[in-house]
Structure 1
Amino acid sequence: MKVKGEGVMNFRTPATQRIAAVALCLLCLSRPLAAEQQGDRQTLFLSLEEAIGVALENNLDIAVEQFQPEIAKEAIVSTEAVFDSNFESRASQSFNESEYDTTPVSVSSLDLSLGKAFRFGGSYQLEWSSSLSAFDGTTLSPTGDKLELDNQYKNSFALSYRQPLLKNAGSEVNTTAIAIARKKRDLSISRLRSTVIAVVTDVKNSYWELVNAIAELKAAELSLRLAEDLVKINEARVNVGALAPIEILQAKAQAASRKASVTTAELAVQNSEDRLRQLLDFAEDDPVWNSSIVPTDAPSETAPALSLADSISFALEHFEELKQFRTTIDIQERALMYAENQMKADMNLIASMGTTGANTHLGDSLTGVIDLNNFSVTLGANFSYALGNRAAKSAYHQAKLQRDQSRLAYRNQEQALIVNVRAVHRNVLTAYELIASTRLARQLAEKQLDAEQKKFNEGLSTNFQILEYQNHLKQARSNEALALTSYNQALANLDSVIGYTLQRHNIVIQE
C-alpha cells in the first residue's frame, strides 16, 4: 500500500487526494501486507485496518465521488467571478464617399471601458472614447473665402454609477449564488463522507463474514475428524469381534456427510474472499485473486460503550444524511430570502459625469478633456414595478413551499433515524448477550460429548448417541462463531447509523 508523507494516503488522481487515513490506521498501512506460500497458493494475512486502507485507496465508488467537491469548488469560483472587473475595447475604421465636402472621408475610433459590480449592489462604468475624423474638402469662411477642412480629434471620458435602493440592494441578496454554491460544496463533501462510510461498513461486514466462514469451516473440519476417529474406533472393534460390521455403517455415513459439509464450508470461504476482494477493488491481474485471505483480527468481545440515549444524541448531530438535509434547508432558506427581495420594486439611483475635448490637434483635444471645458453631470433615479408582480410572487411562494416541505421531511427523517438507531442498538445488545449464551452452550456441548465418549469407551453408549453429541458440538461452535460475527457486524452498523465510522478508524476527509 502507498503512503504519502506522514498521515496522508496517496490516491490515484489529484481529486482523489482528499481522504487521509491517520493515526492507528496508517501505522498498520505503513507496512506491506504479509503473505506466505502454502502449497500452490499464497496466503495473504490481512488485518481489518489494512482492508479498510486498501478500500480507501482502490474503491471506485470513492474515487468517483471525490471529484464532486472539486467540481463544486470551481462552481464557487464561477459565482464569485460575477464581481470581477470587466474590461472592454472596441476599435473601428470607416470610410465615406459623399457629394458634400463637410463629410469626413474616414473616421477612426477607439473605445475603452472598465466596469465592476460590487457585492452591496452598486456598479460603476468608466468609459474613454477617442476618434479621428479625416476631411478632404473645403468650406466657406464667413467672409466667403474657401478654407480647407482640417482633421478633427475628439476625446471623451465618462463615469457612471448605479445603486439599487430596493430590489437587489445589499450584500446578502447579491451574494446568494455564492452562498448557495458554498453550501452545495458542503453537500458534496458530506456525500463523499457517506460514500466512505458505506464502503468502510461494507468492508467491515465482509471481513467479519469471512471470519465467520473460516470459523464455520474449522467447526466442520473438527466435526469431520471426530466422525473419522469414531470410524477408526469402530473398525478396531470390528476387527477384534467386539462389534458387528453393520454397526460401522452409521459412523461412515456420518463421516461422508460431514465431508460434504466441509466442501460446502470451503466454498463459502472462497465466496466470502471474493466478496471482500471485490470491495477492495484489486486489479484483475493482482495475485491476490489467487491467494487465500486470512483475517488476522479476532472479533471484538468488548461491551458496547454508548448507551441508547448517547447513540441517538450522537446520530442526530453526526449522521451524514441528516446533515445533508440541514444543508439543503439552509440553501432553501437563502433562496427564499432572495425570492422575497425580488418582489420589491426596481428602484435605482443613477449618477454620471462626462467631459469632452475636440480639436484639430490631438494634444489640444486631450487638454480639453483634462481642463473640463465641456463638462456635464447627471443625477437621477429610475423606478419600475410589474403590475400584479405575479412572477416574483409565484417564485417566492414556490421557494417557501419547498422550504416548508423540506422542514417536514427533515422531521420525518429524524424520527426514522431515531427508530433505526433504537433497532440497531437493540441488535448490538442482543448480539452481545448471545456471545455469552452461545459460549456457555458450546462449553456444555464439549462436556456432554466428553462424558458420552467416556461412556462409549466403556460400552455404555452407542454410535448414534456419540454422533448426536458431535453434531450438537458442531452446531454450538457454529452458533458461537456466528454470535461473535453478528456482534461485530452490529457494531459496524451502529457506527454507520450514528455517523461514528470515520472517527472510529481515524479517517479524515480534508475540506
Structure 2
Amino acid sequence: MIKKVLLFTFLLTLTAASITLDSSIELALKNDKRILLQEAQLQSSRSLIKESKGIYDISFVSEISYLDSTTPSTSAFVSNNTLGEKTTSYKFGFEGYLPTGTSYNFFDFGLEKSETDLGTSAMSPVWNSDLSFRVTQNLLKDFGVKVNDIKILIAKGNSEISKIEFERVVSLVILDTETKYWNTVYTKKNLELALSSLKLAEDIVKKNRIEVEVGTLPKVALLQAESEVAFRKVEHIRAENLYQNSIDVLKLSIGIPIEQNITIDSNISKKVLKKIDPNEIEAIAINNRPEVKQESIKVANSKQLVEYYSNQLLPDLDIEGLISYSGLGGSRNSNYSSAILGSPRIASKYDNGYSDSISSLESLE
C-alpha cells in the first residue's frame, strides 16, 4: 500500500516537472511485467537450492498409535467369550543423511503398552521399550559426495541461468526505454522545428502580401507563400501526432497511465563512450553474451546428470551398523488363570509397571 501511495505521489509530481531519462528507466524497472515475472522465477530457482540442500537436514520423527480390539473367542482362558486387547505405541527419534551417502538414525526410541484379558498372559499391561542407533553406508549406488550433491549443483546452475536471464531482461528493458525516450525527444524536436517553419512561412505571407499591395511583387508570389503555409500546417499536424504517439508509447513502456500529462526533458548531453580495441570486440561479445553463458551452464548440468544416472544404474550394496537396547516391564494380570496354570513366574523387578521397562533400559541390560 505504501509503495502505491509513493508511486502515485511520484506520478503527480510528473505533471509539474519533465521526465528525464533516469526517471523513465527507474519507472520502467519498477513496472515492467517482464522484470516482475523474471524476478519471481529467480526467487523460485533460489528456493529450489534450499529445497535440494534439505536432504541433509536432521529430521525429528515421531509416531503415536492406539489400537483397541474386541474379538469373539471360545478359549477357556477368556471371560464372556470375548478377548479384549489394547495396544498403545510411542516412537520418536532423529534421522538424517550425509553427503557421503550415509544415512543414520540416532536415539530411535520406542515404547509400547499392551493390555489383554487373556488368562494365559502373566502380565497386563506389558511395557516394552527399545532404544537403537543405526548407521547405513552406501557402497555403490549413491556413494560419494559428488553424486549426492549433483541435485544441489544443478539447482545452483539453474539459479545462475535465471539470474543471467533476469539481467538480460533488465538490459532489454533499459535499452527499450532509452530507445523510446530518445525517439520521443526526436519527435519533440521535430515538432518544434515544424512550428518554427510554420511561423516563418506565415511571416513570409505577411511580407509578400504587403509587397503585392504596393506592387513590388506579383500575386503569384503571395499564392506560393500561402501554399507553403498550408504545407507547413500539415507538417506541423503530422509532427504533433508523431510526438503524441511517441509519448503514449513511452507511457505504456514505463507504466504511466495514458491520461497522465507529462513533458519530456529534451536537453541532450553528450556521453563519453569507452574506447574498445577492435581486436577485442569478438572476445568481449562471446564472454558477455547471456545466451552463451546460459548454454555453457546447461552443458555442465547435462554432464552432471549423465554421471548421476550412470551411478543410479549400479546395484544397491550397503553396510550397516546397529546398536539396540530393550527394556521390559509390566504388572501382574488380574485375569491370569492361576487355578489352571499355577502361580505366574514373574521376577519381582518386572512387577512395577512402566518404571521397570525404563529402568532396565537405563541400565542397558
TM-score (norm 1): 0.58
The answer as to whether partners of 1:34 and 1:45 remain within 8 angstroms in 2 is no
Residue 107 of structure 1 is matched in structure 2 by: 87
1:43-97 deviation per Cα after TM superposition (whole angstroms, max 9, x unaligned): 6412211211121222232223222222222222222222222313132233344
Cα RMSD over matched residues? 3.0
The answer as to whether partners of 2:248 and 2:258 remain within 8 angstroms in 1 is no
Q: Larger Rg: 1 or 2?
A: 2
- Which of 121, 124, 132 is the matching residue for 1:158? 132
Q: Any gaps of 5 or more consecutive residues in structure 1?
A: 1-9, 13-31, 37-41, 140-146, 374-511
Matches within 5 A, 1:87-486: 87-97=61-71, 98=73, 99=75, 101=77, 105-126=85-106, 127-136=108-117, 138-139=119-120, 151-283=125-257, 289-291=260-262, 293-298=263-268, 300=270, 302=272, 305-360=275-330, 361=352, 362-373=354-365
Instruction: Provide the C-alpha distance between the structure 2 equivalents of 1:233 and 1:304, rounded to a whole number of angstroms.
Output: 52
Mark the CA change 1:237 to 1:148 in structure 2 (over 3 Å): closer, same or farther: closer
The answer as to whether partners of 1:155 and 1:369 remain within 8 angstroms in 2 is yes
Secondary structure of the 1:346 match is: coil
Mark the CA change 1:216 to 1:283 in structure 2 (over 3 Å): closer, same or farther: closer
Displacement after TM superposition at 1:203 (Å): 0.8
Mark the CA change 1:325 to 1:46 in structure 2 (over 3 Å): closer, same or farther: same
Mark the CA change 1:150 to 1:323 in structure 2 (over 3 Å): closer, same or farther: closer
Displacement after TM superposition at 1:295 (Å): 2.1
Residue 54 of structure 2 is matched in structure 1 by: 81
1:204-234 deviation per Cα after TM superposition (whole angstroms, max 9, x unaligned): 0011111111222233223323333332332
The answer as to whether partners of 2:66 and 2:86 remain within 8 angstroms in 1 is no
Residue 64 of structure 1 is matched in structure 2 by: 37
Mark the CA change 1:156 to 1:330 in structure 2 (over 3 Å): closer, same or farther: same
Displacement after TM superposition at 1:260 (Å): 0.7
Mark the CA change 1:137 to 1:238 in structure 2 (over 3 Å): closer, same or farther: closer
Instruction: Provide the C-alpha distance between the structure 1 equivalents of 2:192 and 2:142, rounded to a whole number of angstroms.
Output: 73
Instruction: Provide the C-alpha distance between the structure 2 equivalents of 1:105 and 1:302, rounded to a whole number of angstroms.
Output: 90
Mark the CA change 1:312 to 1:365 in structure 2 (over 3 Å): closer, same or farther: same
Alignment size in residue pairs: 330
- Runs of at least 4 residues off by over 6 Å: 32-36
1:358-417 deviation per Cα after TM superposition (whole angstroms, max 9, x unaligned): 2433333333334444xxxxxxxxxxxxxxxxxxxxxxxxxxxxxxxxxxxxxxxxxxxx
Mark the CA change 1:67 to 1:299 in structure 2 (over 3 Å): closer, same or farther: same
The answer as to whether partners of 1:104 and 1:133 remain within 8 angstroms in 2 is no
Secondary structure of the 2:90 match is: strand
Mark the CA change 1:100 to 1:297 in structure 2 (over 3 Å): closer, same or farther: farther
- Which of 7, 23, 26 is the matching residue for 1:50? 23
Displacement after TM superposition at 1:302 (Å): 4.8
Instruction: Provide the C-alpha distance between the structure 1 equivalents of 2:189 and 2:123, rounded to a whole number of angstroms.
Output: 107
The answer as to whether partners of 1:187 and 1:324 remain within 8 angstroms in 2 is yes
Displacement after TM superposition at 1:172 (Å): 1.6
Residue 348 of structure 2 is matched in structure 1 by: none
The answer as to whether partners of 1:43 and 1:294 remain within 8 angstroms in 2 is no
The answer as to whether partners of 1:163 and 1:348 remain within 8 angstroms in 2 is yes
Farther-moved stretch of structure 1 (190-199 vs 359-368):
359-368
The answer as to whether partners of 2:194 and 2:239 remain within 8 angstroms in 1 is yes
The answer as to whether partners of 2:251 and 2:257 remain within 8 angstroms in 1 is no
Q: Any gaps of 5 or more consecutive residues in structure 2?
A: 5-9, 331-351
Q: Percentage identity across aligned positions? A: 23
Secondary structure of the 2:320 match is: strand
Residue 412 of structure 1 is matched in structure 2 by: none
Instruction: Provide the C-alpha distance between the structure 2 equivalents of 1:218 and 1:197, rounded to a whole number of angstroms.
Output: 31
Farther-moved stretch of structure 1 (358-367 vs 243-252):
358-367
1:154-195 deviation per Cα after TM superposition (whole angstroms, max 9, x unaligned): 222222221111110112211222222222222222222111
Mark the CA change 1:51 to 1:315 in structure 2 (over 3 Å): closer, same or farther: same
The answer as to whether partners of 1:33 and 1:44 remain within 8 angstroms in 2 is no
Residue 6 of structure 1 is matched in structure 2 by: none
TM-score (norm 2): 0.80
Displacement after TM superposition at 1:320 (Å): 2.4
Secondary structure of the 1:160 match is: strand
Instruction: Provide the C-alpha distance between the structure 2 equivalents of 1:345 and 1:231, rounded to a whole number of angstroms.
Output: 98
Displacement after TM superposition at 1:115 (Å): 1.7
Name the aligned partner's letter for residue 220 of structure 1. Answer: A
